[in-house]
Amino acid sequence: MKKAAAQDNKNGKVLVVILLLALVGYLVYESNAFFMSGTERLLSEKITAMETK
């Protein structure tokens, strides 16, 4: 019985690690998407400013 409990505990830890990695990856992706939208907005503003001159 002890071995089965240890196996369950190990599986639980692996699951937690996978969930944490997924969360970190999602947060990084979200911040990158936000950052890219900000830089794209700046670039488009610069391009339109150049065109109007």
Q: How far apart are CA 12 and CA 44, in angstroms?
A: 48
The list of the chain residues with pLDDT below 70 reads 1, 33-36, 53
Q: In degrees to the nearest 10, what's the CA dihedral of 14, 16, 17, 19?
A: 120
In 1-53, at which residue ranges do the beta strands (DSSP E only) sit? none
pLDDT at residue 26, as a whole number: 87
Q: Specify the pTM.
A: 0.50
Q: How far is CA 44 from CA 1, 3, 18, 22, 27, in A?
A: 64, 61, 38, 32, 26
DSSP classification of residue 20: H
